[in-house]
Amino acid sequence: MAPTYLTKDPVLVPNTGYVFTAPEGTPKPVLPLDIRNLRTLRESVGTSWASIGNTSLENGITHDTEGDDPEVLGTWQRPSLRTTNPPKVYSLTLALADFTIETYKLYYGGGSLATDGSFIIPSVPAATTKALLIVAVDGDRHVVEYYERVSLLGSDGIEYDPAALTEMPVKATILGGTEGMGQISPVMWGSAVEINPPALATITPATAAPGTQVQLTGANLHAPVTVWFGVYEGTNVITTPTGTQVTVTVPTPVETGDLPVQVKVETNFGESTEKPFTIDQP
């Protein structure tokens, strides 16, 4: 299934998130991902990507930018002639919550194992370079961040707090790849979501004055729904649970006199074909 991006309400509340690493240069998985659960997601991203484990719920994932601000340059005659484009360094901070050998290596920059299985902290840390994949999930929708090359190393210290989960903050400095610094998707539906674009069948009546309620029939007319009368948005939209009917109030256009328009319905799954309608005005 090709990705279907949300055209309405493209907002995200990341109730769940997953972080994966892979050898640097590993290609991005094919989108959209199957986000129903961790098992389907693992299968969707492929065996090259390994889960980084639990990350902080409280602190989440933070994005940082370092570098100078743009500077305005000008002349006597034109004080704001142009602005500079100073380089920027982008990074993310991950608060790792799993105390495993793999997370120790990311935080401490390498390391090895003692004979009893303990982790030996290296004398000289060396950042680990990997590919990074972040999947932020909100129900049936998700956003995917992909970085072909990042440099991973511990940033702030570790605090043992009896009232909180202990975390290891790891900074992922984005090194860039073959196509820009990285990639981030718009909000999209998961691959398991059935995509049904709206279909508009009839408009009753086909001519009505502004402020009049008209009824639309069709299929897949599920909320949230926007009804367009040409460039004007209908108001007081009411849908039915079956998704077969919509009641909407005809908007008041700027133009005077009878105005022929094309009516279409827009939902999160796309737009319907258009039907002719006339806004009847004195």
pLDDT tens figures, 56-96 = 888 889 999 999 999 999 999 898 999 999 999 999 999 99
Write the pLDDT tens digit of every residue in 160-181.
999 988 999 999 999 988 989 9
Q: How many helices (H) and strands (E) does the chain have?
A: 2, 23
Q: Which of 210, 190, 201 is nearest to 258 (CA)?
A: 210
Q: Are 204 and 223 in contact (CB under 8 A)?
A: no
Domain ranges of the chain: 16-189, 199-279
CB atoms < 10 A from the CB of 99, how many? 15
User: Once rounded to an integer, what is the mean pLDDT over residues 201-213?
Assistant: 96
Q: Are 49 and 28 in contact (CB under 8 A)?
A: no
DSSP string, 221-271: -PSS-EEEETTEEPEEEEE-TTSSEEEEEPP--SS-S-EEEEEEEEETTEE
Strands 275-279 and 207-208: parallel
Percent of the residues in the chain that have a pLDDT greater than 90, as a whole number: 83
Beta strands in 164-240 (DSSP E): 168-174, 183-184, 188-189, 199-204, 207-208, 213-219, 226-229, 232-233, 235-239
Amino acid at position 146, single letter: Y
The CATH class of the 199-279 domain is mainly beta
Q: Are 74 and 81 in contact (CB under 8 A)?
A: yes
User: Where residue 252 falls among pLDDT bands split at 50, 70, 90?
Assistant: very high
Q: Is the pLDDT reported for residue 11 higher than 70? A: yes
User: Once rounded to an integer, what is the mean pLDDT over residues 99-104?
Assistant: 95
